[in-house]
Amino acid sequence: GQNIDQPTEMTATEGAIVQINCTYQTSGFNGLFWYQQHAGEAPTFLSYNVLDGLEEKGRFSSFLSRSKGYSYLLLKELQMKDSASYLCAAMDSNYQLIWGAGTKLIIKP
Amino acid sequence: GAVVSQHPSRVICKSGTSVKIECRSLDFQATTMFWYRQFPKKSLMLMATSNEGSKATYEQGVEKDKFLINHASLTLSTLTVTSAHPEDSSFYICSANSGGRDTGELFFGEGSRLTVL
């Protein structure tokens, strides 16, 4: 079956770095997405990886290893506003997104 | 970037009534839109894929007669929750893909919080 695993909750300190991991198993693969979702709001797109390697976009970076079925989202210089849920989603061979349950990130001063 | 607008953002209705939620792509044409439902502290659950000019494709376990989807134009899809009951209370979110399907980036509407009394 198809499955996405990511930690339920993580805590980090303002100004620090945090890495949110995601492993996936899908029927075929057409890319890995990370979305940020603040409580009560719709998700917003953060990143898309389809090739192995690291994609950097400002304070956020996303990494993909297709052979390992693994991705991580790296957040640097954490700010209080980064407190949110981070959703990992893999696109299968039918271009359907398979969603993880999300990782709730708590930032402490 | 592409913008998807969803309306209403909040709606409260009585049990047994029907509620319509609109999803519009404001600056691009969306042949396909997606409707999700999200329970508190849970991830998105795809309900159906809305296809312009044809019938929606529903996910397993989603009642098509309960959740009516219409995609009459390239910029508008509607979800109607018919004969709503308290268990239908949830956060409903639509999304659309602005590019070809292999780009995959989805743009989400603001979401609609439905409360059925």
- Whether A97 and B104 lie within 8 Å, measured CB to CB: yes
What residues in B contact A44, CB-CB < 8 Å? 108
The fraction of chain B above a pLDDT of 70, given in percent, is 91
- CB neighbour list of residue B17: distance below 8 Å, 6 or more residues apart: B83, B84
Nearest CB among B43, B109, B110 relative to A99 is that of B43
CB atoms inside a 10 Å sphere around CB B12? 12
| Assigned token pair, A35 | 């979305």
Helix (H) or strand (E) holding B10: strand B10-13
Q: How many CB pairs under 8 A join A and B?
A: 49
Q: How far does A50 lie from chain B, in Å, by closest CA? A: 10
Q: Write out pLDDT tens, residues A88-105.
A: 999 888 777 888 989 999
Q: Answer yes or no: is pLDDT of A61 > 90.
A: yes
Chain A residues near residue B96 by CB distance under 8 angstroms: none
**Residue A77 contacts residue A14 (beta carbons within 8 Å):** no
Mean pLDDT of A57-67: 96
Q: Rounded to an integer, what distance in angstroms lies between the CA atom of residue A102 and that of residue B51?
A: 27
pLDDT for B42 equals: 74
CB A21 within 8 A of CB B86: no
Q: How far is B15 from chain A (nearest CA, A)?
A: 23
The pLDDT of residue B2 is 61
Per-residue model confidence as pLDDT tens digits over B77-99? 999 999 999 999 999 999 987 65
pLDDT tens for A5-22 read 999 999 999 999 999 999
C-alpha–C-alpha distance, residues B85 and B71, integer Å: 24
Tell me the pairing of strands A53-57 and B106-108: unpaired
Q: What is the mean pLDDT of chain B?
A: 87
For residue B31, which residues of chain A lie inside 8 Å, CB to CB? Answer: none
- pLDDT at res. B102: 46
Q: Return the percentage of chain A with pLDDT > 90, whole number.
A: 74
Question: What pLDDT, on the 0 to 100 scale, is given for residue B101?
Answer: 47
> Tokens 């296809």 — which residue?
B51
